[in-house]
A and B are shown apart, each in its own frame.
Chain A
Amino acid sequence: MKKYTFTEKKDTRSGFGAGLSQLGKTNENVVALCADLTGSLKMDAFAKDHPERFFQVGIAEANMIGIAAGLTIGGKIPFTGTFANFSTGRVYDQIRQSVAYSGKNVKICASHAGLTLGEDGATHQILEDLGLMKMLPGMVVINPCDYNQTKAATIAIAEYEGPVYLRFGRPTVPNFTDAEQKFEIGKAVILNEGKDVTIFATGHLVWKAIEAGEQLAALGIDAEIINIHTIKPLDEQAVLTSVRKTRCVVTAEEHQMNGGLGDSIAQLLARELPSPLEMVAVHDSFGESGTPDQLMTKYGLDAVNIVDAVKKVIGRK
């Protein structure tokens, strides 16, 4: 049974901007920091409405993370904003020591993640960020799938005490989750119930999993589709319950195979419920310049790749 409705195409980063703007009005402890990408991160509304709580740090991401950690001392809830590459790889040690190890209530909000950043090329297209962040003890890692869910996640993480990595993207993509749906950190969302295979997807690949599911239905394959918006902590119960029923798995993500969602699910299943598994992800490669659609096709992250992976994994049951 389908549990989604396509409405319009919107970018997930605007969901973040809308969520942050709402938080600015409802929670006076929320502050925001940006490293010269206010427009790209859609933080303009917050900056305009709450200039005293918005900190433009310039092109100095390490300093931004440190200042954010310091702002928590005094009860503030800082949201940092820059591209995913500069939110993670560039400042890994600052996040590790000043935020994660220090247990600070910083929300690291990262746009332009993955290949769909497009033409800027591999220097900006990080495909390792989920892995980097999920390895940090105590770090919550969230990769919502559309505008509505990104907005809801932004609002939800302000209520959670502790460090969070929130990943979203640049392009407009289908907006299909319920605008009123409450975002529960660590709670997987079943989008389609099925019995033949489970497709676990995250971020932009969730809609592609839905498209794949429709193509599979036409072939007589009944796919269960689950949106894993929280990579860490992983909803292990939801994964195991579904795989006990379907007995085979495809994972889909805009990330390296190493360190991503598929890696987390493979670890869990290897321990608890060994099952045939295929991963739709980037295979140990950097990206390159191109349009988002061209790149997703070239690197094998389209619905057709999910369909192929499903056919393969069902054959391994």
Chain B
Amino acid sequence: MDSTTELEKIVPQVRRDIVRMVHAVNSGHPGGSLGCTEFFVSLYFKVMKHNANQFNMDGVGEDLFFLSNGHISPVFYSVLARAGYFPVKELATFRKLNTRLQGHPTTHEGLSGVRIASGSLGQGLSVAIGAALAKKLNKDENIVYTLHGDGELQEGQIWEAAMYATAKKVDNIIATVDMNGQQIDGSTDSVLPMGSLKAKFEAFGWDVISNDNGNNIATVVETLATAKTHLGKGKPVMILMKTEMGNGVDFMMHSHKWHGVAPNDEQLAQALKQNEETLGDY
């Protein structure tokens, strides 16, 4: 899919999927999901080389994506389904008994598109580095992408992984941090200020690219394209991407409160009114 206009058409549909999924089970994480919608749509409909119809765990010959902050599963599931990994109607099973769409993503139920369980934070960067090393051993020149929450960077394992990736020149990985500045108990600055993440990752030897408008699909696509040109030069690449938690649903924005809260019937109706049905609801 090429034009930005076409990508922009997918975005409101994914937002509808997200709010409808969490509303249906009165649980889940809409805030971070909405904030990362443009990133996921860019990745799966434009940037990544991947094969949705014939999912293969090893993913040799494809780009790979790992979601480290697994709680934003609604956006991950919606985009996987819309990209063709599994039937869109399966989104209706989210968080319900016997579903493949568990509260946090898992390989355990055999859902196409998911290559690792995530939810307990801080583990995805290490896993992605392992997959990137396997690609190097396999002489597979495709890329490994990850997404992390900014609050997630408070986990120590992230920094073990960050140190390793530089030291061992893992230069076929593009990690992105969703800089929405929010976590469960409040803003990241009020919970545990992390200072300059750019300075920190640069001090750890990463090639850091900033995107201050992660909710603008054109800039996200451009940033990911730029990041790709930085690979293969001995350094891992990090995108620090500023987003607005709850983006696209006005009453969910500018607060940490919609991190893990589902909308009621009235709020759902309001959210849907703000996002046009472009591809057909599930």
Interface residues of A (CB under 8 A from B): 31, 52-53, 55, 57-58, 60, 62-76, 78, 93-94, 96-98, 101-104
Contacts and interface: CB of A to CB of B under 8 A. Distances in A.
Given A58-B164, A75-B138, A102-B107, A93 B120 contact: yes
B58 interface: yes
Contacts of A52: 137
Going nearest first, the 9 A-B pairs with the smallest beta carbon separation are A70-B130, A66-B126, A74-B134, A63-B160, A60-B160, A67-B130, A70-B127, A70-B131, A71-B130
Contacts of A64: 126
A167 B161 CA distance: 26
B161 to A, nearest CB: 5
B133 interface: yes
A66 B161 CA distance: 9
A62 B126 contact: yes
Given A60-B164, A74-B58, A102 B116 contact: yes
A98 B123 contact: yes
B138 A67 contact: no
A73 B64 contact: yes
- Interface on chain A toward B: helix, strand, loop, or mixed SS? helix
Nearest to B157: A62
B211 to A, nearest CB: 25
Given A66-B125, A104-B116, 6 more contacts: A58-B163, A60-B163, A63-B126, A66-B123, A72-B130, A75-B58
Contacts, number: 118
B108 interface: yes
* Interface size class of chain B, counting residues whose CB lies under 8 Å from the partner chain: 35 or more
Given A67-B130, A74-B59, A62 B108 contact: no
B119 interface: yes
Contacts of B135: 74
A72 B197 CA distance: 30
A67 B137 contact: no
11 contacts: A52-B137, A58-B167, A63-B157, A66-B125, A66-B130, A67-B127, A67-B164, A69-B127, A74-B134, A75-B58, A101-B117
A69 B107 CA distance: 12
B107 A53 contact: no
A53 B130 contact: no
B223 to A, nearest CB: 24
A242 B209 CA distance: 66
Contacts of A96: 120
Nearest to A31: B137
Contacts of A55: 133, 168
B268 interface: no
Interface string B75-91: 00000000000000000
Interface in B156-202: 156-157, 160-161, 163-164, 167-168
A250 B64 CA distance: 51
Interface string B200-230: 0000000000000000000000000000000
B50 interface: no
Interface string B46-81: 000000000001111000101000000000000000
